[in-house]
Structure 1
Amino acid sequence: MKTLFLLAVVVAVALCSAVPAERSSLGCQMCELAVKTYEGSADKDVTSIKKDFDAECKKLFHAIPFGTTECDHYVNEKLDPIIKELESGTAPKDVCTKLHECK
């Protein structure tokens, strides 16, 4: 009984401490991928940029639990602000920090 309780506590602590760091890191990686995708296709329209990002994101993050779902969320919620920052002249290296995706 003690072993089972101890195991449950260890698992709970591991999950609580691992999830925020992973999400933060994943968001930063996705933002950096979005900036890279935009830079590689700046002459394309927004729809093409979103399509290119979505394909590359899913290729890179498909093995992560909910990775493809996060890619879809990023396309729908976060890509437009990134594109607007880049179009307004924000330096590519500063975009993700400015949008609080990276530290």
Structure 2
Amino acid sequence: MKTLFCLFALVAVASSFVAFAAPKQEGALNCLMCEVGVRAAENPADREAHVVEDKFDAECKKELGGIPFAAKECEKYGNSKLDPIIHELESGTAPEDVCTKLKECPKQ
């Protein structure tokens, strides 16, 4: 009975680490991709959608090169988040504040 209780406690502790670590990792990845998106769209002359998407894809894959699913994550993030990033920049939000305002990065 004692062994069963210890095993149950160990599983509960391990599960809590996994449950709380995943959002932090996803948040860090989103923050990094947001910063890449801001760099890709920062120049007003290059803000045409296809130009920003191409720059973002190339830079994102370069930044996340060691991650096996990087290409898919870059594509998914670019499809859903580049327009809001561009909108913020066009609205006058400072590049260093865009990701915080979009809640992709924590306040510094």
Interval of TM-score (by shorter of Structure 1 and Structure 2): 0.7 to 0.9
User: 2:93 aligned with 1:79, yes or no?
Assistant: no
**Unpaired segments ≥5 residues, structure 2:** none
Show structure 1 runs of 5+ residues with no match. none
> 1:8–1:67: structure 2 CA closer, same or farther, 3 Å change rule?
farther
- How many residue pairs get matched? 102
Select which of 70, 74, 77 maps to 2:73: 70
Residue of 50, 55, 63 corresponding to 2:53: 50
Cα RMSD over matched residues?
A: 2.1
Q: TM-score, normalised by structure 1?
A: 0.82
Separation (CA, whole Å) in 2 of partners of 1:24 and 1:58: 18
Q: Percent identity?
A: 48
Q: Secondary structure at the match of 2:37?
A: helix
Alpha carbons of 1:9 and 1:63: their partners in 2 closer, same or farther (altered >3 Å)?
farther
Is residue 99 from structure 1 mapped to residue 97 from structure 2 by the alignment?
no
State how far apart, in whole Å, the 2-side matches of 1:7 and 1:60 are.
Answer: 36
Deviant stretches of 4+, over 2 Å = 1-14, 62-68
Residue of structure 2 in register with 1:34 after alignment: 37
Question: In 2, distance between residues paired with 1:56 and 1:6?
Answer: 44
TM-score normalized with structure 2 length:
0.79
